[in-house]
Amino acid sequence: MHQSKEIEKTFKFNEKDKETVKYSLNRFSVAPMLDWTDRHCRYFHRLLSQQTLLYTEMVTTGAIIHGKGDYLAYSEEEHPIALQLGGSDPQALAHCAKIAQERGYDEINLNVGCPSDRVQNGRFGACLMGEAELVADCVKAMQDVVNVPVTVKTRIGIDEQDSYQFLCDFIDTVVRRSGCNIFTIHARKAWLSGLSPKENREIPPLDYPRVYQLKKDFPQLTIAINGGVKSLEEAKQHLQHVDGIMIGREAYQNPSILAQVDHELFDASMPVVDTVAVVKALYPYIEQELSKGTYLGHITRHILGIFQGIPGARQWRRHLSENAHKSGADISVVEQALAMVTERM
């Protein structure tokens, strides 16, 4: 092993820590992102922040019930971790939620925000905003079989149904019929046709004041805001109006932002995490995964942006990109890449 047990232990999320963050699980989170927030990514993100709530990629009920792989695999170190489910069949969602709780997930989240055609064809994602009673039934079915929080991630509207009243009616229906009290609101509406998922993250304008108003009108609910947040300073401004922040692409492309989260948003006495130490703390995990047959590139693709803006970052990214995919690539590839950064510090 390249990492001492002492340093490795520093980055463990223990049971005491888990109890500490229960009351604030949704204060700061990394968004579920398809093809990005897999288990390797989440393990890495956990080394950067102990307090951040981490989400899986969206997993469909069909994949869990009928798929051949283990779509719920994760490392214990990833806690607190939320599973985002995609589906619209209350019975199937309840079945999957129960399995997820048995597997130890800390929260179950229902996707009511993804606008892709594939998701719509499965009758889940953002199109469910037009079926508030069904969403409520889905949430209620899951709540009836688990005792971890069941939450909803949604948009502020869909297509021409984008008035504030529509959003309030949707939230009110879900709350009254299911008792759900935690919502993450992506502060853009979704166009269900005509825009790609990428365009749906960029073209519909952000409307943060609408989410702020939602919190004022539903003060009893925990409301987190999502969409376009690129810094912790922005996050602090939002936290003056809502209960939580969810950051997506910025946290993935510039993960060093997570190294500051615990200090800036939770406890000022906690140190800002050393990103070089985090990379070294990842070595045992990498070696363990390599021994199981995992390709190095499947892990290192998630850490390319960790030194963004630091001398040597370009060489770090290039070395990993050019060598991690090669046959037999091992931990030495990461060590060599890291040296290109540390020798310039």
Question: Same domain, yes or no, for 175 and 298?
Answer: no
Peptide bond before residue 90 is cis, with ω within 30 degrees of 0: no
Between CA 334 and CA 275 the distance in angstroms is: 14
Tell me the helices (H) and strands (E) count for the chain, helix number first.
18, 8
Question: Same domain, yes or no, for 308 and 215?
Answer: no
Question: Same domain, yes or no, for 135 and 219?
Answer: yes
Please check whether residue 184 lies inside any domain of the structure: yes
Question: Same domain, yes or no, for 294 and 235?
Answer: no
Domain boundary (215, 238, 266) is at 266
Q: Is 270 annotated as a binding residue?
A: no
Q: Is 32 annotated as a binding residue?
A: yes
Count of domains observed in the chain: 2
158 forms beta bridges with 161, 190
Q: Is 228 annotated as a binding residue?
A: yes
CATH number at residue 173: 3.20.20.70
CB 128 within 8 A of CB 112: yes
Please check whether residue 293 lies inside any domain of the structure: yes
Q: Is 308 annotated as a binding residue?
A: no
Question: Same domain, yes or no, for 197 and 151?
Answer: yes
Q: Is 129 annotated as a binding residue?
A: no
Question: Same domain, yes or no, for 253 and 317?
Answer: no
Question: Same domain, yes or no, for 40 and 64?
Answer: yes
Question: Same domain, yes or no, for 262 and 134?
Answer: yes
Question: Same domain, yes or no, for 52 and 128?
Answer: yes
E strands in the chain: 28-30, 53-60, 81-86, 107-112, 150-154, 182-186, 222-226, 244-247
Weakly modelled stretches of the chain, pLDDT under 50: 1-23
The CA angle 163-166-168, to the nearest 5 degrees, is 110
Please check whether residue 240 lies inside any domain of the structure: yes
The burial class, CB within 10 Å (0-12 / 13-18 / 19+), for 262 is: buried
Question: Same domain, yes or no, for 310 and 204?
Answer: no
Please check whether residue 166 lies inside any domain of the structure: yes
Please check whether residue 201 lies inside any domain of the structure: yes
Q: Nearest 5°: phi and psi at 252? A: -80, -45
CB 151 within 8 A of CB 82: yes
For residue 143, the model assigns a pLDDT of 98
Positive or negative CA dihedral for 80, 313, 268, 184?
negative
For residue 15, the model assigns a pLDDT of 44
Q: What is the pLDDT of residues 247-288, one digit of tens each?
A: 999 999 999 999 999 999 999 999 999 999 999 999 999 999
Q: Is 83 annotated as a binding residue?
A: no
Please check whether residue 18 lies inside any domain of the structure: no
The boundaries of the domain holding residue 31 are 24-266
Please check whether residue 10 lies inside any domain of the structure: no
Domain boundary (266, 291, 317) is at 266
Tokens of 138: 């889905």
Question: Same domain, yes or no, for 300 and 217?
Answer: no
Domain boundary (245, 266, 287) is at 266
The CA angle 144-77-101, to the nearest 5 degrees, is 10
For residue 118, the model assigns a pLDDT of 65
Question: Same domain, yes or no, for 87 and 124?
Answer: yes
Angle at which helices 132-143 and 164-178 cross, to 10°? 30
**Which residue among 41, 96, 114, 180 is the active-site one?**
114
Q: Is 227 annotated as a binding residue?
A: yes
Catalytic annotation on 127? no
For residue 344, the model assigns a pLDDT of 87
Please check whether residue 9 lies inside any domain of the structure: no
What kind and span of H or E run contains 234?
A: helix 232-238
108 forms beta bridges with 83, 150
Q: What is the pLDDT of residues 163-195, one digit of tens each?
A: 999 999 999 999 999 999 999 999 999 988 878
